[in-house]
């Protein structure tokens, strides 16, 4: 079965893998030693694959042309001897002695695209070798030269535009930096170079993150960007300064002394007598806590009772109880604080 044999140095395996994958993507049958099955006599397998190849691609790199690249050069000599060698250059080096007269395809700038003109030159050369035809003249170098000439002309125009833009003639900076459809990228770029009084990206994001009316945020922003694009706006907001009293309510408890006398009617047991005393005291606690809240800065929520010392005695055929303790007032307490706002 015919295939394309790829010869390379093991140090270059990652770059060669990308090249092999790109060639396979274009429909070519590639053989390289990554496909060797385990346990095989690798030297014999490589020799067999080399003999059956219809084209040999050799990757010239610093490693393959160096002292340890003997195997690569031997494989390249066999391909050259059979007239099926296609050398490619992955590093900026000269081919080894004896290979300088063969057209070498320059892939030193190749980024992996199969549309790259130099990769297309490689495809054309491989297919020519497989079909026994002469290798066509490479088109990549001429295309690169035309690109350089085009870039030179464009660069001259850009330099002229930059001169006009840099001097801000005809208010060019403001117009370009505010061009719609490309924001905020264009504005951020202008801010980076100090054009058009535009904020940098970091200043723009910091300004957007300010809390409305927060004076401290504005002061911190001016500290970070004292000459920033928003400095005048920040100063104007700080000048519009107000102090406001903020009222808030929070839960609090307050204790009042509570005395509940013994009941006039005896109950059948001690537990019922104490329960009766607490029930009578609850009504007194509600009134006491409510009156306390009305005469202070609290809002009444609820009241509870807490007995500290019981006073129980026999009454008739039963027991009556009273106690000394506390009314526990559950309230909302008011507090006020001053809050400064700027520009609000």
Per DSSP, what are the bridge partners of residue 337?
Answer: 246
Per DSSP, what are the bridge partners of residue 310?
Answer: 323
The tens digit of pLDDT for each residue in 9-40 reads 999 999 999 999 999 999 999 998 876 655 55
Running DSSP on this structure, what letter comes out for residue 254? E
Q: What's the number of CA atoms in the CB half-sphere (13 Å) around residue 74?
A: 10
Collapsed DSSP state (helix, strand, coil) of residue 232: helix
Question: Measuring CA to CA, how many Å separate 279 from each of 165, 283, 300?
Answer: 88, 7, 19
Say whether pLDDT at 167 is over 70: no
186 pLDDT band, cuts 50/70/90, is confident
Asked if residue 259 lies in contact with residue 245, where contact means CB atoms within 8 angstroms, the answer is no
Positive/negative CA dihedral, 47, 48, 51, 53? negative
φ, ψ at 292 (rounded to 5°):
-65, -45
Rounded to 10 deg, the angle between the 117-130 and 13-25 helix axes is 70
Please give the sequence-ordered ranges of beta strands (E in DSSP) within 216-269, or none if there are none. Answer: 241-260
Question: Measuring CA to CA, how many Å separate 69 from each of 43, 80, 117, 209, 245?
Answer: 15, 16, 28, 60, 83
Positive/negative CA dihedral, 122, 124, 129, 131? positive
Asked if residue 134 lies in contact with residue 128, where contact means CB atoms within 8 angstroms, the answer is yes
Of all residues in the chain, the percent with pLDDT exceeding 70 is: 89
The tens digit of pLDDT for each residue in 98-157 reads 898 888 999 999 999 999 999 999 999 999 999 999 999 888 877 877 766 655 544 444
Look up residue 68 and give its two tokens. Answer: 């340890």
Does the domain made of 3-136 have the CATH classification 3.40.50.10140?
yes
Say whether pLDDT at 158 is over 50: no
The residue ranking higher by pLDDT, 191 or 2, is 191
Asked if residue 285 lies in contact with residue 328, where contact means CB atoms within 8 angstroms, the answer is yes
Per DSSP, what are the bridge partners of residue 30?
Answer: 4
The tens digit of pLDDT for each residue in 50-60 reads 999 999 999 99
Asked if residue 44 lies in contact with residue 36, where contact means CB atoms within 8 angstroms, the answer is no
Question: Measuring CA to CA, how many Å separate 35 from each of 31, 38, 42?
Answer: 7, 9, 10
Closest CA to 56 of 30, 17, 21: 30
Residues in the chain: 344
The tens digit of pLDDT for each residue in 286-329 reads 999 999 998 888 999 999 999 999 999 999 899 999 999 999 99
């Amino acid at each position: 079965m015919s295939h394309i044999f790829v010869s390379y140095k093991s140090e270059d395996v990652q770059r060669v893998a990308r090249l092999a994958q790109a060639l396979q993507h274009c429909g070519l049958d590639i053989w390289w030693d990554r496909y060797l099955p385990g346990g095989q006599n690798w030297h014999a397998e490589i020799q067999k694959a080399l003999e059956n190849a219809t084209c040999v691609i050799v990757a010239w790199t610093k490693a393959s042309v160096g002292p340890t690249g003997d195997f690569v050069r031997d494989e390249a000599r066999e391909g050259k001897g059979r007239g099926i060698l296609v050398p490619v250059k992955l590093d900026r080096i000269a081919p080894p002695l004896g290979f300088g007269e063969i057209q070498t395809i320059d892939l030193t700038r190749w980024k992996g695209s199969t549309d790259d003109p130099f990769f297309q030159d490689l495809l054309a050369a491989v297919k020519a070798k497989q079909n026994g035809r002469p290798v066509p003249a490479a088109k990549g170098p001429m295309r690169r030269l035309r690109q350089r000439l085009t870039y030179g002309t464009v660069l001259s125009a850009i330099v002229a535009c930059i001169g006009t833009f840099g001097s801000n003639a005809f208010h060019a900076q403001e117009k370009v930096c505010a061009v719609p459809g490309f924001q905020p990228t264009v504005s951020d770029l202008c801010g980076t170079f100090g054009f058009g009084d535009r904020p940098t990206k970091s200043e723009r994001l910091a300004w957007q993150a300010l809390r409305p009316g927060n004076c401290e945020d504005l002061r911190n922003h001016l500290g970070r960007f004292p000459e920033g694009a928003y400095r005048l706006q920040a100063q104007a907001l700080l000048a519009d300064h107000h102090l406001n009293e903020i009222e808030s309510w929070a839960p609090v408890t307050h204790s009042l002394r509570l005395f509940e006398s013994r009941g006039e009617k005896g109950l059948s047991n001690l537990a019922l007598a104490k329960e009766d005393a607490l029930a009578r005291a609850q009504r007194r606690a509600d009134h006491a806590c409510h009156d306390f809240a009305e005469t202070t800065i609290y809002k009444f929520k609820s009241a509870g009772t807490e007995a500290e010392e019981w006073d129980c005695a026999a009454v008739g055929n039963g027991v009556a109880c009273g106690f000394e303790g506390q009314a526990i007032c559950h309230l909302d307490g008011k507090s006020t604080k001053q809050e400064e706002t700027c520009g609000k």
